[in-house]
Amino acid sequence: MNIASTVTVDPTLDVVAEINRLRKEKNAVILAHYYQAAEIQDIADFVGDSLDLSRKAAETDADTIIFCGVRFMAEVAKILSPSKTVVLPDLEAGCSLEDSCPPDEFAAFVAAHPDHLVLSYINCSAAVKAHTDIIVTSSNAEYIVNQLPADQKIIFAPDKHLGGFLNKKLGRNMLLWQGTCIVHELFSEKELIKLKAKHPNAPVAAHPECPDAILRHSDHVGSTRSILDYVRDSDAETLIIATEPGIIHQMEKDAPHKTFIGAPGADGNCSCNTCPYMALNTMDKLYLCLRDSSPEIALDEETRIKAEKPLRKMLEMSPNAAPAKDLTRLSA
């Protein structure tokens, strides 16, 4: 996939100093996902998983939210904080799970199953959220599904691997939309088995967007934040990480003495598993979007109102615990 886009910034400009100046001047908060480049994570006011970032976006008193993540995440910020200006460094930063679930097809699917409750993973468009009863993230999905009656018929979209993982773990039979994440699909079971044989004491921590063939070799399965907590608290000195390698930056900060090995793709290394959408955001684009308050997320109000309901439901049904203290890192 070639979705690269470049911008030009005066090479003599101190981009970090300019970002720091502009964020104060504009009362802007910079939110970043763990899959962003290390320097973006380091300059952000808060770094988190999808649930933590939605909570931050809903609570912030900043005038502008600079969302360093992908478009569906920035849309969530706009849905929950409609009076704020929400900008994304690169509007092309999409998500293959979002692409795998066209809103019209999804609406028809939902209409064909009127007796089903509709659960959607937060990795989908605002238009798909508008056809959903409850949104979930990888950190609250299990908790939310467990609150639903055992005989409740459920549609789960768009990630078939997260849905399959939940069905297996919770003994459910949710009807799964057949979407996938192009990044997590690339891990190779064969190569993982070889890697485990080389490092027999290294636990495997995996994101539930991975196929079952990877999850069944994993010691921990959870959201990016839960993977970070697991890795930090583990007694192991070496761990194998089956998710996007951007997260390893926080692991190295949390536990500098430990060794983190990215789970391999079919070629035996993990370089193929960088999310091409997350990688579109750069420090230069972060500076420019802060300077210009653009590109801005804009949603039609009818869709926004419909999409807000299942998101608010998610926040109500999520575990109340505040994000662990190491999750939100105030930049220096």
49 interacts with, out of ligand SF4, ligand 13P, none, CB within 5 to 8 A per kind: ligand 13P
Q: Is 224 in the site for ligand 13P (CB under 6 A)?
A: yes
Contacting residue, 123, 140, 218, 250, with ligand 13P by CB under 6 A: 123
96 interacts with, out of ligand SF4, ligand 13P, none, CB within 5 to 8 A per kind: ligand SF4
- Residue 15 or residue 88: which is nearer to ligand 13P going by CB? 88
Report in angstroms how near the CB of residue 139 gets to ligand 13P at its nearest: 6
- Residue 9 or residue 213: which is nearer to ligand 13P going by CB? 213
Contact assessment for residue 196 and residue 240, using Cβ atoms and an 8 Å cutoff: yes
Binding to ligand 13P (CB under 6 A): which residues in 128-147? Answer: 137-139
User: How big is the chain by its Cα radius of gyration, in Å?
Assistant: 19
**Residue 185 DSSP one-character state:** G
Q: Is 275 in the site for ligand SF4 (CB under 6 A)?
A: yes
Binding to ligand 13P (CB under 6 A): which residues in 175-214? Answer: 181, 207, 209
90 interacts with, out of ligand 13P, ligand SF4, none, CB within 5 to 8 A per kind: none
176 interacts with, out of ligand SF4, ligand 13P, none, CB within 5 to 8 A per kind: none
Q: Is 277 in the site for ligand SF4 (CB under 6 A)?
A: yes
259: its two tokens: 């060794």
Among 251, 274, 243, which residue's Cα sits nearest to residue 41? 251
Report in angstroms how near the CB of residue 286 gets to ligand SF4 at its nearest: 17
Binding to ligand 13P (CB under 6 A): which residues in 247-306? Answer: none
- Specify the amino acid at residue 111: A
Query: Could you tell me the CA-to-CA distances from 268 to 209, 218, 245, 280 in Å, in that order?
Result: 20, 18, 15, 25
**Residue 201 DSSP one-character state:** T
Binding to ligand SF4 (CB under 6 A): which residues in 112-131? Answer: 123
106: its two tokens: 């999804």
- Residue 278 or residue 286: which is nearer to ligand SF4 going by CB? 278
- Residue 15 or residue 97: which is nearer to ligand SF4 going by CB? 97
Q: Within the chain, where are the H helices?
A: 15-25, 38-43, 50-59, 71-80, 96-99, 103-111, 126-129, 141-145, 160-170, 189-198, 212-215, 224-233, 248-254, 283-292, 301-317
CA distance 137 to 134: 10
Contacting residue, 60, 81, 96, 140, with ligand SF4 by CB under 6 A: 96
Query: What contacts 45, CB < 8 A, 6 or more positions away?
Result: 23, 29, 30, 31, 330, 331
Contacting residue, 49, 75, 90, 308, with ligand 13P by CB under 6 A: 49
Q: Please identify, among the stretches 76-84, 94-102, 170-178, 299-307, the one whose residues bind ligand SF4 according to the rule CB under 6 A.
A: 94-102
3-class SS letters over 239-292:
EEEECCHHHHHHHHHHCCCCEEEECCECCCCCHHHCCCCHHHCCHHHHHHHHHH
Q: Which letter, b or e, does each residue of 85-95 get, where b requires 16 or more Cβ atoms within 10 Å of its Cβ? A: bbbbbbbebbb
Contacting residue, 22, 31, 43, 70, with ligand SF4 by CB under 6 A: 70
User: Binding residues for ligand SF4, per CB under 6 A?
Assistant: 70, 95-97, 123, 181-183, 209, 244, 275, 277-278
User: Binding residues for ligand 13P, per CB under 6 A?
Assistant: 49-50, 123, 137-139, 181, 207, 209, 223-224
